[in-house]
Structure 1
Amino acid sequence: MAFAEKYINPFTDFGFKKLFGSEPNKELLIDFLNQVVLPEQHRITELSYTRNEHLGAKELDRKAIFDLYCIGKNGERFIVEMQKAKQNYFKDRSVFYASFPIQEQAKRGEWDFQLTEIYTVGVLDFVFSEDAHEKEVRHEVKLKDQNGRVFYKKLTFVYLEMPHFTKTEEELETTYDKWLYVLKHLPYLDSKPKALQEKVFDQLFAVAEIAKFTPDEMNAYEQSLKYYRDLKNVIDTAIMEGETKGRMEGRLEGEMKGRIEGRLEAITESIIKALSRGKLTVEEIAEDFGVSVDFVLQIKEEQRP
């Protein structure tokens, strides 16, 4: 397949993991965390990737799959996720995911319950309903008391609402600005912008160039991109139809998105169960649920350990 874009879309599963999820490219993730997430006094110089799959009480229903899960040199835990579309109970899910790095620090025998810092980072391709009229990009959340004082400083949630980032290349001032700019605009660029002079961006653009992919990487990216576009098309179509009927103004737009995304999530979960039973072929599953074979194959690929 010939791609119109020169660089990958980081909001695809393949694109995000290509940039940030492999050992050769972990310097990109380290710089991203240092510049965008962590306070200056907590900067990291090393991290290691670990398994990104944790099982809850029910293997299928409570399977929590993070985009990336890694541990810093001093034991800090990082959950880093690219979120393509809004989901019901997104904040509940973030808290649920954060519970796994807490539980896994438990030690057998004598233990004083001391924990290391945990950061849950969400790079969001949407805005929260309550923030629709705000223009704040970065949200940092900690556990606080009724007077606004931090009660517990080792659990931090950082959300980046990318639609609110509107700076142009000429307005980029900090490395933080540049990271957000490149994540939002990467698939629409023809070359590395002059404003991005830091060496880390030289590496990022080299890694992101589609023409350098192997045939297997090309195929994997094609499937991942199709999944991403299918999801976006479902949401965009629902919005357009709702607007035509005059029912998609303001708050109703978010409600319609939630219903469509909830239905897509339910279909995805049903496909996962069908795949786990192993009684039907991929083609039969696609026909049963009214989706493309590529859609089922993408889900199947994402379930592999």
Structure 2
Amino acid sequence: MNTLYTDDQIFIPIISDYGFKATFGNETNTLFLRKALQALIKTETPIKEVKFDKNTFEGLTQDSRSGVYDLACTDENDNHFIVEMQYGEEPYFVQRMKFYSLHKFNAMVKKGKFDYGTLTKIYCVAILANTILPYKQYHTLANLRNEQGELFDKQMTFVTVELNKFELQEFDCQTDLEKLIYTMKTIHTVTQPIQFPQFWNEEWLKVAIDELDSRKMTPDERASFEILVARNAEAVKAENKKIKDAIVNNKIETIRKMLIRGKLSIEEIAEDNAVTLDFVKNIQQKLNSEK
């Protein structure tokens, strides 16, 4: 899924630094955020208001190395929401979600709420561009359960959305959750207003879409956006290099072990690891020089 902005796009991707902050992080008008959270946790109870927790993850709100952007807020019932956007590969995102949730849990206890029965709920939401979980469904709700799958505790709820798994067309989208995910996956691909699905006229989605319209940007907003695009491009480039280097280093270590065991010829080692014969010979020469 391509989430990088190009010159021919009218709308900025929601799952981008600028797009996320302009929609989910819109403090002037929280209608989209409130409706989106309600859809993501699958509750019929409206969220009437939200308050942003600016200091909850101080120093952790943006990880330029992996393209992660976080938001934390509470509703009128003091329920806590943590939203994470992930457009890169992140094999340990479950551990990241647990870290955020337990950080919030510990912060709640430290504030003097030692009566555990009165602790409010924590919802940790991860929206991923890529497929990571081994499930067919694009939306997953998870709580602590016993070995029979029975609910053990629901004070913490983990919500995962994998955009790559979402395949509904606009005419199939009936629920707010389906409309939200369709919008997140397609808004940046629209080049003509006639391509708008009817439900994009719903007020909560219209608020977000207006914020993503690059034609309505002020000069300052345009400059800020272009800086973020450049920064994200560099972050993606650095991340890709890191992944490539990790793959190469892993192959080198594997080939070293195979050469030390001495059970295969260098031709067989090269074929098994999909590398050139010279690549294996170079590693072999370094091994010989270390003896």
Q: TM-score, normalised by structure 1?
A: 0.68
Distance in 2 of aligned mates of 1:168 and 1:136: 16
How many aligned positions are there? 232
- Of all paired residues, the percent bearing the same amino acid is 28
Distance in 2 of aligned mates of 1:219 and 1:55: 25
Give the CA deviation at 1:182: 0.6
Q: Do the aligned partners of 2:40 and 2:159 also contact (CA within 8 Å) in 1? A: no
In the other structure, the counterpart of 2:48 is 45
**1:67 is aligned with what amino acid?**
D
In the other structure, the counterpart of 1:148 is 149
- Match 1:33 to one of 34, 37, 42: 37
Query: Structure 1 pair 86/53, CA: closer, same or farther in 2 (3 Å)?
Result: farther
Distance in 2 of aligned mates of 1:18 and 1:52: 19
Are 1:95 and 2:98 an aligned pair? yes
Give the CA deviation at 1:194: 2.5
Give the CA deviation at 1:110: 7.8
In the other structure, the counterpart of 2:87 is 84
In the other structure, the counterpart of 1:252 is none
Describe the superposition over 1:134-181 as per-residue Cα deviations: whole angstroms up to 9, x where unpaired.
531001111111121111111000000000011122222222211111
Q: CA RMSD in A?
A: 2.9
- Match 2:218 to one of 202, 214, 218: 214
Distance in 2 of aligned mates of 1:33 and 1:46: 11
Query: Structure 1 pair 141/259, CA: closer, same or farther in 2 (3 Å)?
Result: farther
Give the CA deviation at 1:27: 0.8
- Match 2:130 to one of 126, 131, 138: 126
Give the CA deviation at 1:51: 1.3
**1:168 is aligned with what amino acid?**
Q
In the other structure, the counterpart of 2:279 is none
Give the CA deviation at 1:108: 5.8
Unaligned runs of 5+ in 1: 239-255, 261-305
Which of these two proteins has the greater Rg computed from alpha carbons?
Answer: 2
Query: Structure 1 pair 88/175, CA: closer, same or farther in 2 (3 Å)?
Result: closer
In the other structure, the counterpart of 1:166 is 167
Distance in 2 of aligned mates of 1:200 and 1:106: 34
In the other structure, the counterpart of 1:3 is 7
Query: Structure 1 pair 142/203, CA: closer, same or farther in 2 (3 Å)?
Result: same
Give the CA deviation at 1:89: 1.8
Q: Do the aligned partners of 1:87 and 1:258 also contact (CA within 8 Å) in 2? A: no
SS of aligned partner of 1:200: helix
- Match 1:16 to one of 17, 20, 31: 20
SS of aligned partner of 1:105: helix
Distance in 2 of aligned mates of 1:100 and 1:14: 26
Distance in 2 of aligned mates of 1:121 and 1:109: 26
Query: Structure 1 pair 165/233, CA: closer, same or farther in 2 (3 Å)?
Result: farther
Give the CA deviation at 1:22: 2.2
Distance in 2 of aligned mates of 1:258 and 1:9: 29
Moved more, 29-38 or 226-235: 226-235
Query: Structure 1 pair 83/257, CA: closer, same or farther in 2 (3 Å)?
Result: farther
- Match 2:205 to one of 198, 201, 206: 201
Distance in 1 of aligned mates of 2:102 and 2:50: 20
Query: Structure 1 pair 220/90, CA: closer, same or farther in 2 (3 Å)?
Result: same
SS of aligned partner of 2:126: strand
SS of aligned partner of 2:109: coil
Q: Do the aligned partners of 2:138 and 2:165 also contact (CA within 8 Å) in 1? A: yes
Unaligned runs of 5+ in 2: 248-291
Distance in 1 of aligned mates of 2:89 and 2:95: 13
Give the CA deviation at 1:235: 6.9
Q: TM-score, normalised by structure 2?
A: 0.71
